[in-house]
Each structure stands twice: as C-alpha cells, then as structure tokens.
Structure 1
Amino acid sequence: MIFNGDRIVLREWKKDDYELFQSIFTNEQIMRYAYLDCFESEEELQLYFKEVLENTVSKFRKAYEYAVFLKSNDSFIGFADIEIYKKNEFGGHGEIGYFLLPQYWGKGYATEIAKLLIEIGFLHVGLHRLCASCHIENKKSEHIMKKIGMKKEGQIRQVRFKNGTWHDELRYSILKEEI
C-alpha cells in the first residue's frame, strides 16, 4: 500500500529496496537514540529485511513498515512503522516509529510522518490506541510526540542499553477519539 502526505509518500518495502533499508539501519547517527543498535552483521540485517518483506504479505501482520520518499522528487528519506502489540475486533494497540536520513532532520518531515502513521493506524489498521517512545535525551523526538497531540504516559527506567550504559525512555500515547 501507498499513503500520501503533503510532502511525503509512505510505501511498503520492495525486494529491490535493500540498499535503502541498509542506509538507515547501519547509520550510527540515525541509530544513536534508537532502541535498536546499528546492524553490524550483513546477515542479521538481511534477515531483518526478509522479515519486513514477509510481514507485508502476512495475514496476521505484526507491523506495517514503510519506505519514506519525498513527493517532489521521489528521494528516499527514511523508514517508518507501526508495530502491532495487540489487535482484535474492538481495535488494538500499536507503536509508531520512524528514522530519517540526517540530511532531512529539522525540516518537519518527522512530524508529517508521525501524523500520517497515526492516520494509518486509526483509519486503515483499525487500532484504538497508538504510542511512541524515545530515548530520554532525544528532546526533538519528544517535542514531535507533543506536537502531534500525544500525551505523556511516563518514563520507563533503564530500558535502553546504548554504548555500555542503561538509559531511560519516555512514552507518549494518543487515542483514536483524541484526533
């Protein structure tokens, strides 16, 4: 599926997108605050990419993962996803996330991606609650969560292990009826 924002396009990953995928998950600057660490093993990254591709066609999707492109010139700018934690006929709960190539930081794309993910999660996937989380030191990400209408749920202590140290995480959420 393809989803259009004002300036961006989200589309599901294709088999020939591996180099784009790799450009995100092997970039230390991008992964600095991420829950995941950079993939150092080509084999591990290829396995993860294979899981993303398989998930796209699965009847019981665990996530909705997208390559992000600029509408104006079709430039690849990042990765976006909704991870499904629980889904049933009454709705469900998921978490949104995104990674942008550094040259696209500070231009409002992350906010646009987050808003589009919320729309997808509520209107297309049928969830009733979405959350997002960030490394406690990632103030720009926290600002985006506030800007898109999410409410702070709390601080999860020492849940992210980065560079040999445990770090706290901030968690925000929004309900369908709040949009």
Structure 2
Amino acid sequence: MVPVQLTGSRLTVREHHHTPEEVEALHALFGDPEVTRYLPFGPRTPEDCADQLELYVEEALAEPRRVYRLAVALREDPGAAPIGQGSLFLGRHRSAHLGYALRRDAWGLGHGGELARLLCGLAFGPLGVHRLVAVVEVGNPASSRVLTRLGFQLEGRLRHDVCKDGVWSDAFQYSLLSDEWQPSEAGSEAGSGAGG
C-alpha cells in the first residue's frame, strides 16, 4: 500500500488510523444527527465507529485497492483529530463515486469545496479515473453547490434513492469527466503520495 497524503491550502487528507483518538473523532462526525441527516445511515455509536475504522484499514490494505476512505485534518495541525472524511469508491470502466462529510463546526468555511477538489485531483490524477459520480440528497443544496462549482454536471434525479428510518428520499446525481476537470482552479496545492 502506498499511503495517500494530499495537501491543500487549508486541509490535509490522509489515511485513517485505528486509535482511540481517531475513533472519538469519527464519532464526533458520524455520531452527530445533523451530519448524518444527508447520509445514507443514521448516527453511529462509538463502537460502530471503532468497527468502521477497522474496516477502513482493511480496505486500505486490499490489493488491488478499490476503496479510499480518508481522514481530513486542518493543514495547520495535521496531527490533530480529523474534522471530516472523504471517500472514493472505484468502479468499472475507470469510474468512481465521490463522497465527503465534515463536522458541523467546519461547515460554511469552504472546506467542503477544498476537500472535494483534493479528492478530484486524486481520482483524475494518480488513480486514472475517467468518470467521477457524486450523489446528493435533494435537501442538501450546499453540497450541490460544491459540486457545480467544481464543474460537475447534473445528470438527473434518483427517485426514492435511499430509505432511512422508513422514509424514502430522492437524490440528485452529478458527474464530472476527466477531460472536464480543471485542476488549477481555486488555487488548491494538491500534492499526492497516492497509489492505486
């Protein structure tokens, strides 16, 4: 495994570590009902988060690696507890799914756009992805804005895409192709030590 290390103007994206501090940080993210409101799962317990981190480490060691779930920290203190997570799920025909989530106290600061940009750089650069897809619940316009600013195109509405707590919700599907990607926009300094 070649560990992923991405650096932006304000964020660092790296591999997760299975430590008590990281379990606590993941629970601060995925244990918050406001954060999971637009995710396909509800709030997770600390035990769930510990199990998830174990899975993330296993996925990182898989050969070939198909799943990248990465911790997001502030660049000024990369050793501090993560403030979010970014993910890429590699599919067939050089495609991938993009996902991201940030702690509530990191919302509205531009971190979502920087994180998504760093993940796009990893996908279209070292990972050689041609088509990147992102799915956003219709009630989450902030995430839709992040994607459209990066050049993602709306492909359509997925009706009853997710059922959570007995309630179905629709989602918008966006995509970005490698020849549409503009890596130099928004001044991100993406450096990568990623391998696929």
Structures share a fold, TM > 0.5? yes
Is 1:77 aligned to residue 83 of structure 2?
yes
**What is the CA distance between 1:49 and its match in structure 2?**
1.9
Report the more deviating stretch, 131-140 or 44-53: 44-53
| Partner AA of 1:85 in structure 2 | G
Q: In the alignment, does 2:11 pair up with 1:8? A: yes
Q: Matched residue of 1:36: which SS?
A: coil
User: Which residue matches 1:137?
Assistant: 139
Q: How does 1:19-168 map to 2 (within 5 A)?
A: 19-40=24-45, 42=47, 44-74=48-78, 75=80, 76-86=82-92, 92-168=94-170
State the SS of the aligned residue for 1:86: coil
SS across alignment from 2:92 = strand
Percent of aligned positions that are identical: 27
Deviation of 1:123 after TM superposition, in Å, equals 0.5
CA contact (8 A) 2:29 2:83 kept: no
Per-residue CA distance 1:44-68 (angstroms, 9 max, x = gap): 4433221111111111223111110
* Partners of 1:178 and 1:153 in 2: CA distance: 15
RMSD: 1.5
Deviations 1:20-65 (CA, angstroms, capped at 9, x unpaired): 22222211110001122222472x4433221111111111223111
- 2:27 & 2:96 partners in 1: Cα distance? 24
Residue-pair matches, total: 174
Q: Distance in 1 between matches of 2:77 and 2:68?
A: 24
Q: What are the Cα deviations for residues 96-121 of structure 1, in whole angstroms up to 9, with x where unaligned?
A: 11110111100100000001100001
1:94 is displaced (CA, Å) by 0.7
The higher relative CO (CA closer than 8 Å, separation ≥ 6) is in 2
Distance 2:17 2:46 in 1: 21
Question: Aligned with 1:113: secondary structure?
Answer: helix
Could you say which structure has the higher strand fraction? Answer: 1
Task: Name the amino acid aligned to 2:163.
Answer: F
Q: What is the identity, as a one-letter code, of the residue corresponding to 2:92?
A: K
